Structure 1
Amino acid sequence: MGKSSEVEYVTIFVRSFRHPKTGQIIRASSFGKKAFPIKVRVKKS
């Protein structure tokens, strides 16, 4: 372990994204939503 850079998570909202396994584009509108919340890992600076 011993990583020197610290990591934090930030929630962003997206209207659509590509599914990592199937490659299909998933749209929030097809689920009756405006956007999906997605947690993203970012380095602290």
Structure 2
Amino acid sequence: MCVETVDGSIERRVPPLHERQTFFRKLEALESPEQKIPRIP
């Protein structure tokens, strides 16, 4: 995920693996199977 800092530069932040897995699980839970779109982690 890219975060824009106050001075306008873009800082790339990679959350810990377990946070990313939780995030994608939440996304998948919100979508029904017909709406599933392949995502690049």
TM bucket normalised to smaller: under 0.3
Structure 1 or 2: larger helix share? Answer: 2
TM-score (norm. length: structure 1) = 0.25
Higher-Rg structure is: 1
Tell me which of the two structures has the higher relative contact order, counting C-alpha pairs closer than 8 angstroms and 6 or more residues apart.
1
TM-score (norm. length: structure 2) = 0.26
